[in-house]
Structure 1
Amino acid sequence: MGPSDRHDRIRRWQAASLLAAAPIASLSASDAVGAPPPQAPPGQQRIASAALVERLHQRVLSGQSATATLESWCAEHGLAQQARVRAVRIHGDDKQAPAEVLQALGADSSAALHYRRVQLVCGNRVLSEADNWYLPGHLSTAMNQVLDSTDEPFGRVVGPLGFQRETEADQTFWPPRGEGDHGIILEVRALLRDRQQQPFSYVIESYLVQALP
């Protein structure tokens, strides 16, 4: 075998090796294109979620209306195409006001006290659930009619009272308290006072994991 034959055989072997490797290289490249982006380690994800919960916590505490706070939160985090919060009434047996509620409202067990339970929803997400006891005598006739006959959010209806919100207690939960979409990440108890500083509403709000982006 002469030198030229030997060189031909080497060239043919190199060409065959390149052809054999080509499909493997092509497959690897396509796999890289279709692969999902790398995710943060679980520990970092938990820290990020806990930070979001605390951010929502501070927003709720500094806001005067849970409805308005959740609308701005929903818009900021793109939780729905239209960032408008609506109330969905939950009908059923009225809950008796706990002693702490009666005391905060300055009412006794015989006082005229209305109860309303709602979910605050943005798009298809239930952001929070709230139990609300309020004194109808402190509201206008029109306000009471709207609250009795519609699902309009309480804060939006009583806005003309120029109310102030006073936090009575608050607590965050991470991991959430409970399971699934109804896990609670934040609970706030608040007293609402009108312009004359008269208390007229006490709410217990449970913010759900669906409020997180």
Structure 2
Amino acid sequence: MKRRSMGRGRFVAAIIVGAGLFNAGYARADGLSWPDTPSGRANLLTVVQALEKTLRTHASATLALEDWCATHHMAARPVVVAQKAPLPQPDPVPAQVRADLGIGATQAVRHRRVRLTCGTHVLSVADNWYVPDLLTPEMNATLENTDTAFGHVVAPLHFTRERLQLAPLWAPWPGPLFGAASGRVVAPATIMRQRAVLRDGQGRPFSEVMEIYTDQNLDFTPSPDGGGP
């Protein structure tokens, strides 16, 4: 069991590095700032925990982010779209993914790397491996040819989410999170990581996702005391 756990850790690290998720492509130049006070830090933590709760209570990350975006008035039209990112060539399927999906070495698997955006905000960057044989031809064509988010495309499968990991990547204490010149708390570009297997209505695993949530989920105006709206 211990050796399996270590393998999962190496798999997660390899995907994060390979995806280039920490590039500055989605981070704002000025960072995210909230009041740098004890209550400001506590309120920011509360907002991050609220995001975690939103993710835990939705089978679809797409719908969770749309709910979040609408709740915090982050876009006039709170619809999540998937901006495709280039993939490495060749692009082998990690052995851990095949094991998690319960498929053999020859079964077809497709890989989709996206940035999930709502309005001008990049809320998540994600790697998604899915078994095309378990999707309809129409679903496969939509995933190949459009920027429709995966959760919308496969909604007719009435899927559930088996979470393998939901890990925070940020905490308000301790750490040098002060904006010395401005007296503001500056959050990092990434705040949370989620990894999960999606199962269709028959219980068959058809997709594995690795999702990194960015600080742009917190990109709304805090109330005067430093809390969320």
Q: What interval of TM-score do these two structures reach, taking the shorter chain for normalisation?
A: 0.7 to 0.9
Cross-structure match for 1:172: 168
Give the partner amino acid of 1:146.
T
Check the 8 A contact 2:170/2:188 in 1, yes or no: no
Identity of aligned residues (%): 39
Distance 1:44 1:91, change over 3 A: same
Instruction: Tell me which of the two structures has the higher relative contact order, counting C-alpha pairs closer than 8 angstroms and 6 or more residues apart.
Output: 2
Cross-structure match for 2:111: 115
State the shift of 1:181 in Å: 8.7
Q: Deviations over 1:24-47 (max 9, x none)?
A: xxxxxxxxxxxxxxx854322221
Q: Deviations over 1:101-159 (max 9, x none)?
A: 11110123322100001111011010001100000000001110111111110110011
Cross-structure match for 1:51: 46
Distance 1:112 1:40, change over 3 A: closer
Distance 1:88 1:40, change over 3 A: closer
Greater helix fraction, Structure 1 or Structure 2: 1
RMSD after superposition: 2.1
Give the partner amino acid of 2:119.
G
* TM-score after normalising by structure 1: 0.75
Cross-structure match for 2:201: 195
Cross-structure match for 1:77: 72
* TM-score after normalising by structure 2: 0.70
Give the partner amino acid of 1:136.
P
Q: 2:137 aligns with which of 125, 136, 141?
A: 141
Q: 1:126 aligns with which of 122, 126, 129?
A: 122
**Counterpart Cα distance in 1 of 2:44 and 2:188:** 16
- What SS does the aligned partner of 1:83 have? coil
Show structure 2 runs of 5+ residues with no match.
1-33, 178-185, 221-229
Q: 2:93 aligns with which of 97, 121, 129?
A: 97
- What SS does the aligned partner of 2:170 have? strand
1:60 aligned to 2:66? no
Check the 8 A contact 1:50/1:174 in 2, yes or no: no
The size of the alignment, in residue pairs, is 173
Cross-structure match for 2:217: 211
Give the partner amino acid of 2:88.
D
- What SS does the aligned partner of 1:174 have? coil
Cross-structure match for 1:155: 151
